[in-house]
Structures are given as C-alpha cells and as structure tokens.
Amino acid sequence: MTIAHVVITGASRGLGAALALRFAAPGVRLGLVARSAEGLAATAAACTARGALVATAALDVRDAAGLGAVLAAWQALAPIDCAIANAGVSGGTRPDGAPEGLDSATRQIGVNLQGALNLIEPLWPAMAAARVGRIAVVSSISALRGLPDIPAYCASKAGLRAYGEALRARLRPRGVTVTVLCPGFFESDMSRRFLGGKPGTVALEEAAARCHAAILRGRGRLTFPWHLAVGLRLLDLLPAGVSDLVARRVRFRIAPE
C-alpha cells in the first residue's frame, strides 16, 4: 500500500524524529506529536524541506482527550493510514542505588503503554473499516524478560508488546498490519542515560532504517540485535530461580533526565 498520512508520537527527537524524516516526501502528510514544541518545530522543518505536509501537536500522550481531538481534526483532513506509537520515557535504579519509586514507575506505564493506546484505539476502527492501514508499536527487547533495575520500563514495554501482538492477530484479516518493534540499544538521549554495559548498540539511523523497512513491508515483528533477543528468550525459558540468578548479573543505573 501507498502510505499517505502518517502520525508519529515522540517525534521531537530520537527514533521518532528519524522515522518522520524517512517517511517525509512530497505529497505525504505527517502528524507529529511530542511534548517539546521546540523539538517538534525542528523535526517539522526538516520534514517540510523534504516536501511533506506537516502538522504538529505539542502535548503529552497521556492526555487522551487532547490527543483524541487532534487525531479527529487530522483525520478530517485526510484518512490516517499509518500510526506509529513511539513516545516513551524510561526510569530505573538511580545512580546512587535508590529504587525508581512510584512516580517514575507510574509515568512510564502512562506514557509507554497508555499513551500508545490513546493513539491507536481512536484510529484502528476506521482503518479496519477501510480495510487498509499500518500500525506500529515501539516496544523494546526488554519486553522479553524483566530486568531487576528497570522493572517498570520492562512492564510497560511488555504490556505494549502483548497489546501489539493481540491487535495484529485481530486486524490482519481486516487488511490492517500491526508491526511490533522490539529494538535493543541504539544511540539516543534515552540510551545515554543507561549507565552500564549496552551490548549490541547500533546507530540511530540504522535502527530507524530497520524499523521503517519493517513498517513498509507490514512485518509482524522486528527484534534486534538477534543474539541479545535469543539470549533473553532463552533466559525466560529457564526455571525462575536460575533465570533470576542470571538476570541479576544484568545491572544498570539510570541517570535522571
């Protein structure tokens, strides 16, 4: 299918901005959402320079009513045929060893999981009715097995992965593809806040290229790097005590934003 109207959350920087630039082309509408008006303006300018028609909304994806109103306005201009739930925040064990706490955990669940639902739920019924559309959710390789220093982040991404997998099974017969993206570490502001070993880190542009290609092809799932994915999947198959023992060797500290 030819994608004509793409909405991307978390588009002010990182993977969201990189994906916006890859979709930007003459005749393509882009709806870009993020909290940072300044970052959105920069992404929008770069996409406009590539010939795209760009609209922006500076809001928090946890604001279901606000996001819903924006989506309805954009949908009235032209049917949205591609939605990418990319907005995300992270947290975890602090540099001093203190736990992340309830506020941080709640924020991650709200942005990473509920924010994705706030984007996708208003859009997929129209896509299914038209029997055409692309949906992508940016989960994480950490969704494959919970890790001790980032429990809420793992929970939010595991929930998003499960939601995407379920939605894919439901919508594929209706002509809508759902791509569940589970990347590992790639160069970004969020990744730089993880203090510890980051195996398999790839460049931002490489991560964006892989994700963009998977969405265009309508792939059901993309997980990388493969060796880390295999390791986490095997870890999850081990008896709980053994799995936990190994998981405790994977340690991070998360610097504040």
Catalytic residue among 23, 74, 124, 153: 153
Token pair of 108 as six digits: 């991650």
Nearest to 130 by CA among 69, 75, 211: 75
Q: Are 10 and 88 in contact (CB under 8 A)?
A: yes
**Bridge partners, residue 179, by sequence:** 136
Contacts of 151 (CB under 8 A, 6+ apart): 92, 100, 105
Distance in angstroms (rounded) separating the CA atoms of residues 98 and 182: 28
Concatenate the DSSP letters of all residues of 114-157 into one string.
IHHHHHHTTTHHHHHHHT-EEEEEE--GGGGS--TT-HHHHHHH
Active site residue 153: yes
- Can the peptide bond before residue 225 be classed as cis, meaning omega within 30 degrees of 0? yes
How many Å from the N-terminal Cα to the C-terminal Cα in the chain?
Answer: 39
Q: Which residue has the tokens 């992404």?
A: 43
Q: Which residues are catalytic?
A: 153
